[in-house]
Amino acid sequence: MDDGVHRRLVAEVVLESVEAVHDLLASWWEEVGAVEPRVRFSFETAVVEIAGNIVEHSVAAQGADGRHFTLDLHATREALTATFEDDAQPAELDLSAVTMATADAEDGRGLALALASVDALDYRYENGRNVWSLECRRE
């Protein structure tokens, strides 16, 4: 794994694409090799939560027609990284202000779970695209 293991998904912004993210992760893990179960679970949780948020919030705000996202997964000896890009309007959020929803809330846990699961989570809007970057160190 000198150069690492890389996989890419380009998908429509539809609910079925979250399943495609699961499938991509499953095949990627086979190539990545041994990863501590806690790290694997944390990384996968964050990736799936961000994918779900992209689908849910893009569709709610603008509809899914013609919308796409990309997911790039990369594994090195030191870290697991995921980068999402989508062509929706900018997300208006402050990651430093994200908190876990109350126990009786029906939603609002996705970003909080993702933040708690990885070592680094960054969001930015650049060149007309939302960009989400996630990283888990392989300790």
- Domain holding 74, by residue range, is 5-137
Averaged confidence pLDDT in the chain: 85
Total domain count, the chain? 1
Q: For residue 87, give the CATH number of its domain.
A: 3.30.565.10
Query: Is the distance from CB of 87 to CB of 129 less than 8 angstroms?
Result: yes
| pLDDT tens-digit map of 102-129 | 455 455 556 877 888 899 999 999 998 9
Model confidence band, residue 40 (pLDDT cutoffs 50, 70, 90)? very high
**What is d(CA 139, CA 80) in angstroms, rounded to the nearest whole number?**
11
Question: What is the predicted pLDDT for the residue at 2?
Answer: 60
Q: What is the pTM of this model?
A: 0.85
Question: What is the predicted pLDDT for the residue at 74?
Answer: 98
Chain centre distance of CA 13: 13
Question: What is the predicted pLDDT for the residue at 120?
Answer: 95
Average pLDDT over residues 29-52: 95
Q: Is the pLDDT assigned to residue 64 strictly greater than 70?
A: no
Percent of the chain with pLDDT strictly greater than 90:
60
| Contacting residues for 16 by C-beta, under 8 A, at least 6 apart | none
